[in-house]
Chains A and B, each alone.
Chain A
Amino acid sequence: MDQLTRLSRREFIKLMTLAPAALVFSETIMPSPLAATSPNIVVMVCDAMSADNLSLYGYPRRTTPNFERLAQRSIVYHSHYSAGSFTTPGTASLLTGLYPWTHRALSFNGQVAPAFAGRNIFALLGNSYDRVGFGQNLLAEFLLSEFRSSLDVHMSPASFSVREQLLGTLFKNDTPASYYAFDDFFFRPSDIPRSLIFGMLEQALFGFRLESISTVGYSNGIPRTNNKIYYRLEDIFRGLASQVQLFRRPFFAYFHLWSPHAPYLPSKEFENAFRNDHWSPPTKPKHRLGQQLTFAQMQLQRQKYDAYVANVDSEFGKFLDELEASGELDRTCFILTSDHGEMFERGVVGHETPLLYDPILHVPLVISMPGQRDRKDIYSQTNSVDVLPTLLKIGGRDIPAWAEGQLLPALGGVEDNSRATFSLDAKKGSSFGRLSIASVAMRKEGYKLIYYKGYTKSDWFELYNLEKDPEEMVDLFDQETSVANTMKNELLTAFDQHSGPLTS
């Protein structure tokens, strides 16, 4: 202190001129303790990938040999469920650690309620991580845009694409409003243009540009999103693999890929996979809220989906090879998961349904920790809200008290089937008001209770014993009344607590 007080004003000014340089070099010369101890983290979300269709989880068709290869050096969660039934709520729960009835990203194109938007993984990890967001699905991109003040690298949804015509990306500082205005309103795909002159020009120009897309290697056209992004799977995976090398360390990268979301467009190499394999899933009764498709229609779509999943897996294998060859996988916590599943039963194809059966909710979760060489299997139930607290722990951060999930088993948490976990669909009606039309699934101690509210004059419940009846064929609600009533009370208490209008 004496030394400092003896500095003359001139000496002090000289010393201060060195301050900016010291700031610039401080991180490179003396990395922060966090940088030295925190691993890189990659979260890869393959949209609409149901765990029920992955051979990794015992599906009879060999759809995912490369996921299985990753699993050999990972923790594999066998009973992992999404908190939402489509991209918006599923992704929001993954990124905020909150159930959909809390964050309220419930509608198509919805966003996290402003009061909860700050509670996202990018903000919580802080700027000692280089935080990267890539959402090929525009619904995921809406959420990333909402969190963009906490992103260091915000990649365009059209990155690595062959053709795209997204106009919102031109207004980088004002997404998602510009997406809503241009890409979801004025020039919404497969819809009448809402701009009289520009709409006509935009459509004609895009039509012209589509003519020149090479479809070599694809019989039915190259993969595309619902928002005028045309791409090749190999370009996406190759692009991401090379991009990973460029981020400042440590980094947290969230990659949300469109595939294997519909339309199912596998390459020629995979399109006939499983076509005549004579395998057939169990027949299940049609549901009154389903689309009433025939078994043959569902089977055809399932075959296309499985082929597409196999195609995604194949390209993922090449991505994995690159990460292994560069040594990146040994330095990175790699997480493979999905935002929701896909359904080919009970008269329904896809996921735009209020039904909450396991094909819609059961998603993969594979976590490979840096340097891990062995496989570990976890069979107790986990939920996508558990990912955020676990990531925070891996990143050396405290877990906030408001987090609705808990640490994943084998990563600081314990196997616990006695806790209740939830999944919700409430895409109809206001996201801010009381949730009057909704389906809720509660899972506890091997049972699953589904509550359908507001779809018909009277609400109803379905109860399944997942250990004895994993295909959810026998509704036990009127048979096992003791379990049914206990779970019903718990579900209704939780729903009543969270389903009211947002107050802030």
Chain B
Amino acid sequence: MALKNKLPPWSQIYPVYAIIVIPVYGWTIYWALWKLPSWLDFLPLGQIGVILCYLMATNFFESLLMLLGVVMVSLILPRKWFRDVFVSRGSMLAASVLIPIMVFEYHNDKPADYFSKFPMLMLIIFLIACASVFLAGWIGIVRKAVEALAENAVIFLFVLLPVSLLSLIIVIVRNLF
């Protein structure tokens, strides 16, 4: 029961999820658009459709993983610090994790780099996350801006969630038979 009290309500979870979905899906879709002309050169449309299903299904799990992380933080931290301002602080936390990863990935392409720089990356993300989460709850205008953005971002869920679920079903069916 205590655990349930620390969980944010659904009405606050999905705006945060919408904030997560934008960079996670956006990153993959951006690169897929670069790749698409090449695929069109040698793959039938049906095959390209199946590949896109894999991309959407993977992004779905990826975004859920990120959401789970944010909710876990809400469970760990005192209720007043995070749960009561979940939309603003959760959104800022998600953005402050995903944006540095984006920057890092854009400049690194070797597994050895990731392995050696991983601890430093985690430290940087941790510091940025702490600062941004603090600011999101402390400065009223930032909080309101983040909340407004998150509420408006929900529209993406109406498109991406059904597409992802359909993709997931297609992937499952193709792997069963």
CB pair B62 A198 closer than 8 Å: yes
Contact of B101 among A114, A196, A210, A430 (CB under 8 A): A196
Answer whether residue A211 sits at the interface, using C-beta atoms and an 8 A cutoff. yes
Answer whether residue A240 sits at the interface, using C-beta atoms and an 8 A cutoff. no
Report the separation of the CA atoms of residues A181 and B174 in the bound assembly, to the nearest whole angstrom.
14
Write out the residue numbers on chain B whose beta carbons fall within 8 Å of the beta carbon of A490: none
Report the separation of the CA atoms of residues A479 and B111 in the bound assembly, to the nearest whole angstrom.
55
CB pair A200 B104 closer than 8 Å: yes
Report the separation of the CA atoms of residues A432 and B55 in the bound assembly, to the nearest whole angstrom.
25
Closest to A191 in B: B109
Closest to B31 in A: A194
Write out the residue numbers on chain A whose beta carbons fall within 8 Å of the beta carbon of B111: 203-204, 206-207, 210
With A174-B175, A200-B104, A204-B118 as given contacts, are A210 and B112 in contact (CB-CB < 8 Å)?
yes
Instruction: Give chain A nearest CB distance to B52 CB in angstroms.
Output: 8
CB pair B109 A200 closer than 8 Å: no
Answer whether residue B155 sits at the interface, using C-beta atoms and an 8 A cutoff. no
CB pair B54 A196 closer than 8 Å: no
Answer whether residue B158 sits at the interface, using C-beta atoms and an 8 A cutoff. no
Closest to B66 in A: A197
CB pair A197 B24 closer than 8 Å: yes
CB pair B102 A181 closer than 8 Å: no
CB pair A430 B175 closer than 8 Å: no
Hey, what's the 0/1 contact readout for A161-193 against B, CB within 8 Å counting as 1?
Answer: 000000000011110011011100110001111
Closest to A193 in B: B105
Q: How many residues of A contact B (CB 8 A)?
A: 40
With A190-B109, A191-B109, A196-B27 as given contacts, are A114 and B44 in contact (CB-CB < 8 Å)?
yes
Answer whether residue B4 sits at the interface, using C-beta atoms and an 8 A cutoff. no
CB pair A111 B42 closer than 8 Å: yes
Write out the residue numbers on chain B whose beta carbons fall within 8 Å of the beta carbon of A196: 23-24, 27-28, 62, 98, 101-102, 105
CB pair B40 A430 closer than 8 Å: yes
Hey, what's the 0/1 contact readout for A352-381 against B, CB within 8 Å counting as 1?
Answer: 000000000000000000000000000000
Report the separation of the CA atoms of residues A429 and B42 in the bound assembly, to the nearest whole angstrom.
9
Work out how many contacts link A and B, with CB atoms closer than 8 A.
122
CB pair A107 B41 closer than 8 Å: yes
Closest to B38 in A: A107
Answer whether residue B106 sits at the interface, using C-beta atoms and an 8 A cutoff. yes
Answer whether residue B11 sits at the interface, using C-beta atoms and an 8 A cutoff. no
Contact of A431 among B41, B62, B176 (CB under 8 A): B41
Answer whether residue A402 sits at the interface, using C-beta atoms and an 8 A cutoff. no
Contact of A192 among B23, B62, B105 (CB under 8 A): B105
Answer whether residue A195 sits at the interface, using C-beta atoms and an 8 A cutoff. yes
With A185-B51, A207-B114 as given contacts, are A429 and B41 in contact (CB-CB < 8 Å)?
yes
CB pair A200 B101 closer than 8 Å: yes
Answer whether residue A25 sits at the interface, using C-beta atoms and an 8 A cutoff. no
With A197-B66, A208-B115 as given contacts, are A174 and B109 in contact (CB-CB < 8 Å)?
no
Closest to B98 in A: A196
Report the separation of the CA atoms of residues A222 and B115 in the bound assembly, to the nearest whole angstrom.
19
Answer whether residue A109 sits at the interface, using C-beta atoms and an 8 A cutoff. yes
Give residues in A with beta carbon < 8 Å to B: 105-107, 109-111, 114, 171-174, 177-178, 180-182, 185-186, 190-200, 203-204, 206-208, 210-211, 429-432
Give residues in B with beta carbon < 8 Å to A: 23-24, 27-28, 31-32, 35, 38-44, 47, 50-51, 54-55, 58-59, 62, 65-66, 98, 101-102, 104-106, 108-116, 118, 121, 171, 174-177
Chosen A-B contacts, 29 in total, with CB atoms closer than 8 Å, are A110-B43, A111-B43, A111-B47, A172-B175, A177-B50, A182-B58, A185-B35, A186-B28, A186-B55, A192-B106, A193-B105, A194-B28, A195-B27, A197-B62, A197-B98, A198-B58, A199-B105, A200-B114, A200-B121, A203-B108, A203-B110, A204-B118, A206-B111, A207-B115, A207-B116, A207-B118, A211-B115, A430-B40, A432-B42
